[in-house]
Chains A and B, each alone.
Chain A
Amino acid sequence: MAGPSAHDEEFTGYVNTRSAWLRQVAFLLCGDWHGADELLQVAVTRLYLNWSRVRAVENPDGYARTVLVNAYLAERRSSWVRRVIPLGGQEERPAAGGDLDGVLDLRRALASLPPRQRAVLVLRYYCDLSVEETAVTLRCSQGNVKSQSARGIDRLRRLLQPSAEEVTS
């Protein structure tokens, strides 16, 4: 039997080095690690199918992130997934040493956001993408990214700090 092709070796090498990061992004999108692993499997399969294209792009991480986010949005649009896969998932504890209650609250609040808003916030504030980069990733206008960001943050503020007086801008 022939050994793995250079194509497969490259792909495997990339996934081995970047899967932990992609999994974290998937976790922030899904809200639970089991869902994140399912999403990662879908996204990495798509990367494999398009590996020749991934090799050709200047920013393979950006490509992989786009594939992951699109896979997440496509799944969340499916009524089947909305029925079968819980949005919140199990309550894993956040890392010790931080604001445990605050992080759990943030996780619950994020789970209540519509998928596009959640994706915009993850891309803007976790992946540190610009408005323009986020718009390209989501194939929408920059205005749409701005409005989704504003709505998402506003919703999180209301969920996390119901008293308007406590909100900081």
Chain B
Amino acid sequence: MTLDADGLAAGLRELARSPAPPMRLDVPAVRAAGRRRRRAVRVAGGVLACGVLFGGVAVVNGGDDVTVAVASLSQGRDPLLAHAAFGWLPDSVIGVSHTVGAHGDQVMARAGGEWGMRLWLRMYEADDDPPLEDGRTALPAPPVNGRRAYWITEDPRDPLNGGDAFLRWRVPDGRWAELHGYYMEEADQGAVLLRVAADVTIGTRPVPLPLRIEGLPAGLDVTEVHFWRPGFTDDETWELAMFYAGPDGASVTIQVSPLTMPGGRCRAAAGLTVCVDAKGVDPDGLLRRITLLGADERRWTTEVVIE
């Protein structure tokens, strides 16, 4: 089978037409189960309402949630800024990725392997109560650093939401932080998430990067930064991609990795490879202005772009 996009689409269509046993879907049973669930949810809602009387707070349903940036771009010396950062993380975590661009912003810690734990950090606007999507319930969680915290779940009987767990807690400036964890193998997921949350720091800081650029061509603005740790190839290496745009359609992509990368103009130094793809800018001239700082992240810098 040739696996380009068309080949995959054709293969999936053929696979979906595989001979199938008779469908076991029982619509009357679905309706009966649905009616039982509705009654159960009403009962759970009553229990939660009682919880309020005893000092707990259960926020049931809310408006549209609004995420604020957990990382952003800067046209200053460091193109990548984080607005929240992990502190303590389980030993299984092998890297923290930052991605920022038109598609949004993400900070994610992950363990090794395709099934390794994922921990996503997000921020929401200041509000009295945590943001809450339709169909979800906020169940009181132990306070995080003395501030209110909630498990956000689709099933009021299951705070950890079947292993797809969301913890939202208030941070000192009144905003809400969110930790979203899944593929967790830890025996006590809730305790791990609470410990991770307690050590998250809120505040803007530049993210150290493994290169220095002395004299970026005038007029170029950074439009996206993807810093995947680990990268796409294995659990040991990482990939950094910085995208710039300028006047008259000029564009530059700078990629850095311990891996050898295909395409573009590339140069290797200090155990790393940097590649430049450019339109409207001399790529070789730009390559000469880049200094690679090696794989030891203690040598990385937040003074990335030097005038």
The verdict on B31 contacting chain A, using a C-beta distance below 8 Å, is yes
Chain B residues lying within 8 Å of A160, measured Cβ to Cβ, are 1, 3
Secondary structure of the A contact surface, majority rule: helix
The verdict on B288 contacting chain A, using a C-beta distance below 8 Å, is no
What is the size, in residues, of chain B's interface with A at 8 Å between Cβ atoms? 51
Contact with B along A154-169 (1 / 0, CB 8 A): 1011001100000111
Q: Which of the residues B11, B23, B25, B115 comes within 8 Å of A106, measured between beta carbons?
A: B11
Could you say which of B43-51, B98-106, B190-198, B252-260 contacts chain A? B98-106
Instruction: Report the Cα distance A75→B24, complex, angstroms.
Output: 19
Chain A residues lying within 8 Å of B101, measured Cβ to Cβ, are 143
The verdict on B300 contacting chain A, using a C-beta distance below 8 Å, is no
Chain B residues lying within 8 Å of A25, measured Cβ to Cβ, are 16
Docked-complex contact B37 and A27, CB < 8 angstroms: no
Docked-complex contact B19 and A93, CB < 8 angstroms: yes
Instruction: Report the Cα distance A92→B18, complex, angstroms.
Output: 7
Instruction: Report the Cα distance A14→B162, complex, angstroms.
Output: 28
Shortest CB-to-CB span from A168 to chain B, Å, is: 6
Docked-complex contact B163 and A126, CB < 8 angstroms: no
Chain B residues lying within 8 Å of A107, measured Cβ to Cβ, are 15
Instruction: Report the Cα distance A142→B20, complex, angstroms.
Output: 34
Docked-complex contact A48 and B25, CB < 8 angstroms: no
Contact with A along B17-39 (1 / 0, CB 8 A): 11111011111011101100110
Known: A11-B31, A45-B37, A48-B30. A92 touches B24 (CB 8 A): no
Docked-complex contact B3 and A156, CB < 8 angstroms: yes
Docked-complex contact B12 and A125, CB < 8 angstroms: yes
Docked-complex contact B33 and A45, CB < 8 angstroms: yes
